[in-house]
DNA sequence: CTGTATCCTTAGGGATACTG
DNA sequence: CAGTATCCCTAAGGATACAG
């Protein structure tokens, strides 16, 4: 009985990562939290890719269940939640940055600011630490 | 009609990367080429995740169409092909390494050798250059 | 061995009405 | 505003027979 442990096709870490956050939406939600500083349900709905309400609720629940983000009540407002990344979620930043570099380099119409990508590419690990510090 | 120019949901580079290689199989094929040095159709079929023949053929064709790998005839054997990564495909290595780090760190049953992950984590950018050099 | 062709099933996703 | 609940549908994937 591995109730908590999802059954992976394999324990290859690449496969595991993909099974946990490789669906169509999870990484975009995490992107919104990390880069657009979004924290509330309604904000995720406004992103360019237009996630629908049921899918968003489902993904938020899954990500919380996997310990990637946590949901906390707003003190002022009873029915308002705040979504923040756990350490496990923040640990996805380096991978996201590599996805940005690759996606931007190979898409002529990329939405990523050229400077940002260039800076990112040059600095890599050092830059990652900077970004993390700024985010925290 | 969906041939050359894929219509992306958005040109966010994270989204683009995911739409190009974010399916269930592409990255595992690329992993096999990069890390297990596989080059032939039959070899991909033997991996732990057990891809089926039609899906494999489909993915190989898609990856070739997107310029991520290239297919060349073996000189000795007419009906044998050799699959190799293009530069665009090799550029995925840093992202794969980050996926390895994250997946291994957060899966207690990971198949990744602890030493490798530790070395990878510590060296990051430098290590990536080493790996690339070794692969080429 | 290197693939195609078929058939079939299902999970994932989208639209939208509804609730507190 | 912050979600649930339904309904529906398609693309993605799996099994397997077959072909060069």
Q: Lowest-pLDDT range, A25-34, A103-112, B10-19, B123-132?
A: B123-132
Are residues A19 and B27 in contact, defined by beta-carbon separation less than 8 angstroms?
no
Q: Which nucleotide is the nearest neighbour of A52, by CA and C1'?
A: C14
A119 touches strand C (CB under 7 A): no
Query: Which helix (H) or strand (E) element contains residue A120?
Result: helix A114-123
Residues 42-61 of A with CB under 7 A from strand C: 50-55
Taken in order A124, B99, A88, A85, the sign of the CA dihedral is positive
Separation between the CA of A52 and the C1’ of D7 (whole angstroms) = 15
Mean confidence (pLDDT) of chain A: 90
Q: How far is B78 from chain A (nearest CA, A)?
A: 33
Look-up: residue for tokens 């925290």? A136
Which segments of chain B have a pLDDT < 70?
1-6, 77-78, 125, 135-136
**What phi and psi, each to the nearest 5 degrees, are found at residue B12?**
-60, 125
Residue range A64-91, pLDDT digits in tens: 999 999 999 887 766 789 999 999 999 9
The candidate with the shortest Cα–Cα distance to B19, out of A102, A63, A95, A116, is: A102
**Crossing angle for the helix pair B26-35 and B93-105, to the nearest 10 degrees:** 100
B5 touches strand D (CB under 7 A): no
- The verdict on a CB contact (< 8 Å) between A95 and B102 is yes
The candidate with the shortest Cα–Cα distance to B86, out of B21, B42, B23, B22, is: B21
What pTM did the predictor assign? 0.92
Name the pLDDT band for A136 (thresholds 50, 70, 90). low
Domains of chain A by range and CATH?
1-86 (1.10.10.10), 92-136 (no CATH)
């Amino acid at each position: 009985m591995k109730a908590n442990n999802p059954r992976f096709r394999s324990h290859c870490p690449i496969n595991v990562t993909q099974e946990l956050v490789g669906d169509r939406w999870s990484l975009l939600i995490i992107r919104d939290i990390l880069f657009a500083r979004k924290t509330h349900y309604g904000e995720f709905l406004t992103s360019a890719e237009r996630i629908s309400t049921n899918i968003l609720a489902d993904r938020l629940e899954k990500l919380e269940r996997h310990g990637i983000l946590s949901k906390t009540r707003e003190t002022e407002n009873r029915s308002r939640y705040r979504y923040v990344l756990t350490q496990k979620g923040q640990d996805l930043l380096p991978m996201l940055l590599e996805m940005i570099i690759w996606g931007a380099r190979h898409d002529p119409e990329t939405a990523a600011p050229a400077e940002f990508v260039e800076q990112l590419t040059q600095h890599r690990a050092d830059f990652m630490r900077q970004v993390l510090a700024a985010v925290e």
